Structure 1
Amino acid sequence: MILALSAAISPEMRGQTAPSGTATSSAVNAHFAAAQQAQSRQDYATAEREYQAVIAAAPAFAEVHMNLGLIYQLQNRVPEAMAELRRALKIKPTLAGANFFLGVDYCKMGEGARAIPYLKAAARAEPNRTDIWSWLATAQELSGEIQAEVVTLKRALELEPQNVDLLYLLGHAYERLGKKEVKALEKAAPGSSRAEQLLAESYAASNEWPSAVIHFQNALAASQNRPGLHVELGEVFLRAGRVTQATQEFEAELLLDPSSLRAIVRRGEAKLIQADVDGALQDWARAIAMDKSRAEEILGIRETGFGDSAFEQLSDAARENIESLAPDLRTRDVPAARFALAFLAAQTGDSSREAAEAAKASP
């Protein structure tokens, strides 16, 4: 709502300044003060009348045109508001508040392309306001400028790195950008291994395992020896509870690339689910020696924000199976066993134990 927006922006953007220059008479000052007081108590009819009196005496006072436009906004008189905002900008093109509100109005009308120039002007005038950058991103989304939207949201996040709404919007923008690239790839190379892989990854991200399996298999049919495909298909099988098939895919990946850390880590996970503790620890000892931090990220032991951990939650049945192995693992005083215990703690949500076991898992 515009009312909420007006409360969020700075006094400079709202035009809350006393008349100066061309408007210095006591009568103009009195009308302006009366308008401000009426606006503060939400007496919009009086505020409108007083601002119009100021404009009659000082028609070149851009901020008053903007304030009058805001009064119209608050009464949902949008066409009149936009007309006043344009008058303000004709007098003072760099006026941040007028540019901002006019851009917001165009966004609400679904006219993103028309909103963008105004919101960019507002951002240039007040570059430290996240609300301006957020509305600019909205305008860019409406106009289909996804890459520009990503850049804008990143700029807003520089100001507020922990803003959950901005993080959500950025993630959503990346998702749409990815779909756009998938469509472009499908058009350029329909049925290619890369196109099938992208489709498979999209289905996997949505937990649509059967469709993901089909497209990964199509990708492999088109390019049997491309590294990475077998391990991705194996991960889908693992999440779908088809552990034997998952293991076969990890083995196939390791035939192509014997040093694939991801395949080694995942094969160890599959072995643990199958209660092959010795086999799991053998794989994980090798993984720890290669790159312990990355191995933790693959299993979701180390939180990476947009990394693998969201993909890493096992089914309840699989989690119960591996939890039963904890007593055996605690008797084994080796880094791989502590690594396995950290994985179990991550699966059960025991963050304190997870951190402690992970710290002890160094070889």
Structure 2
Amino acid sequence: MSLRFTFALLLLLAGNSFGQQESSLQSILADAQKAQSANDYITATTDYKAAVKIRQDVPELWANLGLMQHESGDYEGAIQSFREANRIRPSLYVPNLFLGIDYVRTGKQKEAVPLLLKAERMNDIDPLPSLTLGRAYSSLGEYRLAAEELQRTIHRDPKQSSAWFALGIVYLHQVEDEARTMTARSPDSPYAKALYAEALVKQDRYKEAEDLYHQVLAAKDQPDCMLSEQGFLEILQNKLEDAARDFQAERSAHPECTIALLGQSRIAVERGSPDEAMRLLQQVWSRNAEFITSHSDALFAGMKQHDRNSFEEFLSQQSGAEEIATALKHTAQGNQPMGNSNDGSSSAPLSLSDAERAFQEGNDAKCVEHLRAGLKSGSSQTLRLLAVCSYFSGNYKLTSDTGAELAKIPVLSSAGLYWSLKANEKLAQDSLAQFEQLEPNSARSHLLMGDIYRQRQLFADAENEYQKALEIAPGDTGAMMGLASAYLGDAKIDQAIAIAERSLAQTPDDLETNTIMGEALIAQHRFAASEPYLLKGLHSKPQMLPHVHALLGKAYAADGKGTDAIRELTLGLASDEDGGLHYQLARLYSKAGDQPAAELAIAQMKAIQQKRRQASVIAVEDSHSSNLDDAP
């Protein structure tokens, strides 16, 4: 990076006659550039420090010094050098850009933003300012601004894999943020329950999801096409007759729900009727070709790969179905295009009546065209219809923006959050798929995807990704740590211990792996054996500490160390998600004769359990073993 941005100071200073001192400067600069070319940034830093002592008034010298300090990891030193360059000449691009970059690296995102905005205005071609600005906004929790900057980065450089990954993480953060808002505002709404049911389906918790879908369908105000959502669950449960009834009932009551046609096509495939499945897909295609590509995941959910390949091959050989086969194969290869990034402006006049007519005909794309102009100025009715049509037409960026506007209307807040959250989840999937395309089958790609799956409690998928990473890089301790954590989450305790031992053999002092090993040993009731690992874990990053204290408290309690157990459990209460720690603390207080403290702990336990029952949305939890905001 430094070779790209450093100033050619030998040329800059050439021709100036300043005597022996300047001759010495030219020699120092030649040595600096030689060291820089050899990636010897420490030596180059020393040379540039000598240079700025001779000419303190040359901002390019300070900028080059800052770049060498940046490359050698001395970010605080680089910040001082860039600030000096900026003081002398505020119009230079490099000091503004890298001062912003190093402020982000040192956790000073607010200070970074104005510098990066200035750098972006100076150079609208370089993707680095917008990429770094996107990361800064993400760290500040300004996810929509972050997404805009990262989309700008991708527009400038579509092959920027780091931008695709960062964009995917930003959308996941938006999902989490909106899920928390939904939980706080309306945890018992049908929209919250529908989202929770979808999350349960992804975790293979079908019975719980089934109960929730029944509650949603009994509600007067519910998300569109819920019978079809239940139908796809029933396919996964192998209840084909129930699914077929639901899809037919959906089509009869809500002919606009094209997804019911998709469900009937899936039923036909399952029943060995590919001709009927093709006919139904052709109806979907005639309504909205984009629908098939944007919702192919629903069509093929749970289907064996062999069966999918056979059906796609059948389609490719049928006259009139070749385009459908090509589109499905395209999405299977991870080439699904991102949702339309149009900001909602349109030259077409707003026409709610025309939009409603198109919606009833199942033509979601046409519905969007009639409503797009109403994104910023439309009525609540316009926004609600635009959210639905844009989602089912695959225009997820527009859905996200519309949902955000809709969520500002108190009585429609749940509906707005529902559509925005679903759209952002799709956008995250698409962004991360693009990242995987740009870094196919790399250890880093599999590691990062494993982290994402693990955070979302999709442990089998996470295990698969980590194993792929280890096939490529057998000694990767990050992949081993991730795999051990995924095994632990999947209740595969023996495997978790085995892989953690393998990792600790290479890095015995790794704090997170020690914590995982301690937790796995506790799961096997090997409490005394867990303590040395957990004591190491007490030096972990702050967000992990409550979890480590809680684990150590459990170990001490099992070993009869009551006083130590109470201390550690108290320090770990921030990690109590189900009230279990408060209950254990209450028992320890009772045993110690402190009944008031025991009663208080029980009351706190009940409050947590009540809040848990109300929490109807699963959010993406902050991982205790990786930081997905780190640049890939």
Return the TM-score normalized by structure 2.
Answer: 0.45
CA shift for structure 1 position 139: 1.4
1:146 paired to 2:107: no
1:19 paired to 2:13: yes
CA shift for structure 1 position 261: 2.3
- The residue number in structure 2 matching 1:90 is 87
CA shift for structure 1 position 155: 0.7
1:236 paired to 2:233: yes
CA shift for structure 1 position 279: 5.3
Distance 1:339 1:90 in 2: 63
Distance 1:233 1:17 in 2: 70
- The residue number in structure 1 matching 2:186 is 189
Counterparts of residues 27-66 of structure 1 (less than 5 Å): 27=20, 29-42=22-35, 47-48=44-45, 50-66=47-63
Give the number of aligned pairs. Answer: 329
Maintained 8 Å contact 1:275/1:325 = no
Distance 1:57 1:76 in 2: 25
- The residue number in structure 1 matching 2:5 is 10
Counterparts of residues 279-318 of structure 1 (less than 5 Å): 280=277, 283-284=280-281, 286-287=283-284, 290-291=286-287, 293-294=289-290, 297-298=291-292, 300=293, 307-315=294-302
Give secondary structure in 2 for the equivalent of 1:165: helix
User: Larger relative contact order (C-alpha < 8 A, sep ≥ 6)?
Assistant: 2
CA shift for structure 1 position 174: 1.6
Maintained 8 Å contact 1:253/1:260 = yes
- The residue number in structure 2 matching 1:79 is 76
CA shift for structure 1 position 100: 2.4
Maintained 8 Å contact 1:209/1:240 = no
Q: For residues 158 and 292 of structure 1, do their structure 2 counterparts lie closer, same or farther at Cα, with a shift above 3 Å needed? A: closer
Distance 1:217 1:334 in 2: 41
Distance 1:267 1:346 in 2: 20
| Residue identity in the other structure for 1:271 | A
CA shift for structure 1 position 239: 4.4
List runs of 5+ in structure 1 lacking aligned partners: 301-306, 351-363
CA shift for structure 1 position 152: 0.4
Q: For residues 116 and 11 of structure 1, do their structure 2 counterparts lie closer, same or farther at Cα, with a shift above 3 Å needed? A: same
Maintained 8 Å contact 2:85/2:95 = yes
Maintained 8 Å contact 1:322/1:344 = no
- The residue number in structure 2 matching 1:124 is 121
What fraction of aligned residue pairs are identical, expressed as a percent? 20
Distance 1:197 1:183 in 2: 15
| Residue identity in the other structure for 2:92 | L
Deviations 1:69-125 (A, max 9, x none): 233334443333322221111112232222222222222223322222222222222
Counterparts of residues 314-329 of structure 1 (less than 5 Å): 314-315=301-302, 320=307, 323=310
Maintained 8 Å contact 1:239/1:315 = yes
Q: For residues 54 and 240 of structure 1, do their structure 2 counterparts lie closer, same or farther at Cα, with a shift above 3 Å needed? A: same
Give secondary structure in 2 for the equivalent of 1:18: helix
Distance 1:266 1:119 in 2: 48
| Residue identity in the other structure for 2:5 | S
Deviations 1:20-58 (A, max 9, x none): 89x762546534433332223326676556544543443
- The residue number in structure 2 matching 1:359 is none
Q: For residues 136 and 345 of structure 1, do their structure 2 counterparts lie closer, same or farther at Cα, with a shift above 3 Å needed? A: closer
Q: For residues 16 and 169 of structure 1, do their structure 2 counterparts lie closer, same or farther at Cα, with a shift above 3 Å needed? A: farther
- The residue number in structure 2 matching 1:360 is none
Maintained 8 Å contact 1:44/1:71 = yes
1:107 paired to 2:104: yes
What CA RMSD, in Å, does the superposition of the two structures yield over aligned residues? 4.1
CA shift for structure 1 position 269: 1.9
CA shift for structure 1 position 278: 6.8
Q: For residues 201 and 82 of structure 1, do their structure 2 counterparts lie closer, same or farther at Cα, with a shift above 3 Å needed? A: same
Distance 2:43 2:326 in 1: 67
Bigger mean CA deviation after superposition, 185-194 or 317-326: 317-326
Q: For residues 162 and 111 of structure 1, do their structure 2 counterparts lie closer, same or farther at Cα, with a shift above 3 Å needed? A: same
Return the TM-score normalized by structure 1.
Answer: 0.73
Q: For residues 189 and 75 of structure 1, do their structure 2 counterparts lie closer, same or farther at Cα, with a shift above 3 Å needed? A: closer
